[in-house]
Amino acid sequence: MRKLHSLIVLLTIILLNSCAKDEINMFGNIYGVVINSNTSEPIQGARVTLTPTGKSTVTGNDGSYEFVDLEAGSYKVTVQADGYTSTLKNVTVVAGERGIGDVSLSPKPQNSKLGVNNDLVLLTKSIKTTTIKIQNLGNSGDIDWTITNIPSWLTVSPVQGSTGVGKETAVALSLNNSFSGKGDCVLLINAAGESVSITVSADTNSDGETGGDGGDGETNDDYSSATVTSCDPDIEVGITSCRRSGNAVIFKYYVTNKKDEDINNFRMDIKFGYSKTSIISDNEGNRYNYQNMTIVFANQNPSVGEFDVQLLKDIKTNGEIAIKNVSETAKNITIKIGAYSYNQYNFLNESIDFRNVPIY
């Protein structure tokens, strides 16, 4: 009897241990190393995000990261690092095992990119001075630039300088006091083999109230009847102009980041069929698709239907959409653009809406 009792106790212990072991095996881990695809060197400080859990971590000195105690299933691992192209890897977690999430990141091209916030300036008898901003849109160091082709009737200050990565440098344009009448010129900004042009049109016979572009690129057209809804209370958006040009409508707008810091990955999705679907239509019910548009934002064209730009704090960033073959009788247009911040903020809305914008 005593032997039978001992046997029962032993079997009970084995059974309990087996249950405990089975309980542990319900979970697994993901472990990986992030490396530079060109050099195979580990990348320290890369941000790794796990979907659908929303967990995130950064890689250590050896480029490694790990997520533990995960339920069995499929996960997406997204990896980002400054100076590298982001990537995504699918990893399957098996209970009691470690899934491998090694990732190689490709360095972004190290080329300078010269930009300007406004390529058309109008000076009048009431607007004799304005400011443009030279932009460094690259990721490979400072841009040293020089402005040439300056006419005698225009004062430009400064005419040369240096602009850091992701920064802007203000340049003042002023009509000389002795100037009267009309004048036109094309200023050239040159840097590291690149150049951008700015058209300056001066007319001291004009008071600047004819509805044309002013020094800041805005017009005196009335857009008060339009409704503008931003993606977030701290993202200021507005209409610059909406005008016909032949059979096209050129819609210009701006976005300003009012948060306390830069937004590193501000994304705008304008291609039909994506998750943040955009809609462009007119008051007659006509709808215009992606193939009939030319789109620019922050001096960039979209990559696979999506912009990915850095929005600097308190800096106005300009955008433009040229919509082809717009009905000649259309009076206004509605534009909805998908917008979100990648892995930094959760915006209140998933789009920026410009509704019932008058066409001039």
The per-residue pLDDT for range 110-119, each reduced to its tens digit, is 555 888 877 7
Q: What is the pLDDT of residue 159?
A: 94
Segment 167-173 mean pLDDT: 90
Same domain assignment for residues 83 and 194? no
Residues 353 and 252 in one domain: yes
Query: 331 and 354 in one domain?
Result: yes
120 in any annotated domain: yes
Q: What is the CATH number of the domain that holds 37?
A: 2.60.40.10
Residue 13 in domain = no
Domain of 151?
114-203
Counted domains in the chain: 3
Last residue of a domain, one of 134, 168, 203: 203
Instruction: Indicate if 36 and 65 belong to the same structural domain.
Output: yes
Evaluate whether residue 147 is within a structural domain.
yes
- Which pLDDT score, from 0 to 100, does residue 109 have? 61
Give the per-residue SS3 of the chain: CHHHHHHHHHHHHHHHHHHHHHHHCCEEEEEEEEEECCCCCECCCCEEEEECCCCEEECCCCCEEEEEEEECEEEEEEEECCCECCEEEEEEECCCCEEECCEEECECCCCCCEEECCCEEEEECCCCEEEEEEEECCCCCCEEEEEECCCCCEEEECCEEEECCCCEEEEEEEECCCCCCEEEEEEEEEECCEEEEEEEEEECCCCCCCCCCCCCCCCCCCCCCCEEECCCCCEEEEEEEEEEECCEEEEEEEEEECCCCCEEEEEEECCCCCCCCCEEEECCCCECCHHHEEEEECCECCECCEEEEEECECCEEEEEEEECCCCCCCCEEEEEEEEEECCCCCCCCCEEEEEEEECC
Q: What pLDDT sits at residue 4?
A: 55
The pLDDT of 123-152, averaged and rounded, is 85
174-233: pLDDT as tens digits: 888 888 888 888 888 988 778 888 878 787 775 443 344 444 445 567 888 889 999 898
Determine the pLDDT at residue 32.
94
Indicate the range of 91-95, 110-114, 240-244, 282-286 predicted with least confidence. 110-114
- Please report whether residue 5 resides in a domain: no
- 303-335 pLDDT, tens digit each: 556 677 888 888 888 888 888 888 889 999 999
Say what the pTM is: 0.43
Residues 138 and 98 in one domain: no
State mean pLDDT over 130-147: 86
Q: Are residues 122 and 178 in the same domain?
A: yes
From 105, 131, 166, the end of a domain falls on: 105
Last residue of a domain, one of 53, 84, 105: 105
Judge if 178 and 295 occupy the same domain: no
| Residue with the larger pLDDT of the pair 81 and 220 | 81
On whether both 351 and 232 belong to a single domain, the answer is: yes
